[in-house]
A = this chain, B = another copy of it.
Amino acid sequence: MSRWQPDARGRLQQAAIELYVERGFEQTTVADIAESVGLTERTFFRYFADKREVLFDGQDELLELFVSGVDGAPDAASPMDAVAAALKAVATMFEPRRAWSQMRGKVVAANPGLQERELIKLARLSAAVADALRKRGAKEPTASLAAQSGIAVFHTGFAEWIAPENTREFSEIIAESLVALKAVVSGG
């Protein structure tokens, strides 16, 4: 095997998720991951702080996408419309990553520590969205309620999207969940 191959990062990530699904997250070592694609542990650590970070690697990008989605909404958009715009951008970003998201979902669901990490990630997203809404002039509790409801839509929509039986696009599910949220909250 040649010493250098393009996209070591992507190959490590793919190998990791496959091993986590196959053997379990706890049972997989960084050495296993690196070896399975002919790389060294040292190379792994050039890209990821630890084996958990392989799963949470896109977190900053996701947060940035949420925030820029809110920032980029028209000035006249209500807080919830700004959140809806952000959700649309996020759904579009995820669309080609369904297979990865399904594998990742399985791994996270099987590990309480990862589930906790996931909750913290969602709370951070929610706090960042509320911040972005306040910067647009939203007051409290409006900003936090819009942010937390939006993250609830993201969270429930994501679960529906990665479900094995699902055949619909993420953006379609998100749009429907936003309508469902309105019906739910207005008591319907």
Per-position binary interface string of chain A over residues 50-71, scored 1 when its CB falls under 8 Å from any chain B CB and 0 otherwise: 0000000000000000000000
Instruction: Tell me the minimal C-beta distance from A82 to chain B in angstroms.
Output: 10
- Taking a contact as CB atoms under 8 Å apart, the answer to whether B141 and A180 are in contact is yes
- Taking a contact as CB atoms under 8 Å apart, the answer to whether B149 and A79 are in contact is no
9 additional contacts (CB under 8 A) given A145-B149, A148-B149, A148-B152: A80-B185, A116-B120, A141-B157, A141-B160, A145-B156, A149-B149, A149-B184, A152-B152, A185-B186
List, sorted by A's number, 22 A–B pairs whose CB atoms are closer than 8 Å: A78-B187, A78-B188, A79-B184, A80-B184, A80-B187, A116-B120, A119-B119, A119-B120, A140-B156, A141-B157, A141-B160, A142-B180, A142-B183, A144-B152, A145-B153, A145-B180, A145-B184, A148-B148, A149-B185, A182-B185, A185-B186, A186-B186
Name A's B-contacting residues (CB within 8 A): 78-81, 116, 119-120, 123, 140-142, 144-146, 148-149, 152-153, 155-157, 160, 177, 180-188
